[in-house]
Amino acid sequence: MSLLQEMGVYARVAELASFTQAAQSLGLPKASVSAAVQRLEAVLGTRLLHRTTRRVHMTQDGLAFYERCKDMLADVEELQTMFRPAPSALRGRLRIDMPLGAARNIVVPRLPEFMAAHPALEVELSSTDRRVDVVREGFDCVLRAGSLVDSSLVARPLGHYRMVNCVSPGYVATHGIPVTLDDLPRHRLVHYVPTLGARSAGFEYVDEAAGPQTRFLPMPGPLSVNNSEAYLAACLAGLGMIQVPEAAVRRLFADGQLVEVLPAWRAAPLPVSLLYAHRRHLPQRVQAFMAWVAEILQPHLVPIGTVPP
């Protein structure tokens, strides 16, 4: 294993704080990962990692070396690709994460064209409603819908999802259609909570007369779910109203499987962003993927700086 390869191994161990997880990420035996780090420490003449039975963490020298490693590895990767004349020359692993709805409705149906244009790329697609740790889990970039809280990542805003309120025809047959906010106490909401046992804020809407200002109205509803697939399925089953991005239910509206209600009282638009760890040089494969995702998402987003009707 070359010095450069050992640096790459060390960077993964440092990012994941685990020899086992780094070995799995790199597709190497754990013993090979441990030996690579030991050889690197011997060459440098300093200890890079503190190892205990429970955790691994960087020493002060290890942290300083890790920061230089990231830049150097990125520089080398950039040098290897800078003279390739066509994007089709992109190669390597691309690990990405995005919400379930975006993957199912927008990205995966178009993914064959991206992979056909870059046949040497290996794509690892994670699709989950939980917020992954971009650095620790080794993601090149993630697509997120909602407010951003991790200031350590670089964010590229793409636009906003327009939100809609939905019920199924079966729900309408049983409960009728709410026409005003005053009707909502007599209707049911499917409650979406990130953790079961948490309390739902209720029906969200924008009060234009107040600024505009986002408000929440408590609503009854016997069902709470913690993922977007169950949320949509519950609505289709007639169990209550949901509030989702229009892009997620456009086909269901067209097929008559869902009905929009209270169009004048929609939830606030949901910001959509691409996030990635700070690097001086972003690999071309990541740049190419982000540009492609931004392009295919545009028809589904309200542009930045505009207010959805």
pLDDT (tens digit per residue) in 51-70: 887 788 899 888 888 878 87
Q: What is the pLDDT of residue 73?
A: 77
Give the tens place of pLDDT for each residue, 3-38.
Answer: 888 998 998 888 888 898 888 888 899 999 999 999
Segment 267-295 mean pLDDT:
87
* In CATH, 163-261 is 3.40.50.1370: no
Continuous H helices in the chain = 3-16, 19-26, 30-44, 60-81, 100-102, 108-117, 169-175, 228-236, 246-254, 284-297
> In the predicted model, is pLDDT for residue 216 greater than 80?
yes
* In CATH, 3-81 is 2.70.98.70: no
The yes-or-no answer to whether 87-157+274-300 and 163-261 have a common fold is yes
Query: Taking the domain 87-157+274-300, which CATH number applies?
Result: 3.40.190.10
Q: What is the pLDDT of residue 129?
A: 79
Give the tens place of pLDDT for each residue, 228-253.
Answer: 999 999 999 999 999 999 988 999 99
286: left (phi over 0), alpha (psi -120 to 50) or beta: alpha
> In the predicted model, is pLDDT for residue 297 greater than 60?
yes
Give the predicted TM-score (pTM) of the model.
Answer: 0.72
Residue ranges per domain, the chain? Answer: 3-81, 87-157+274-300, 163-261
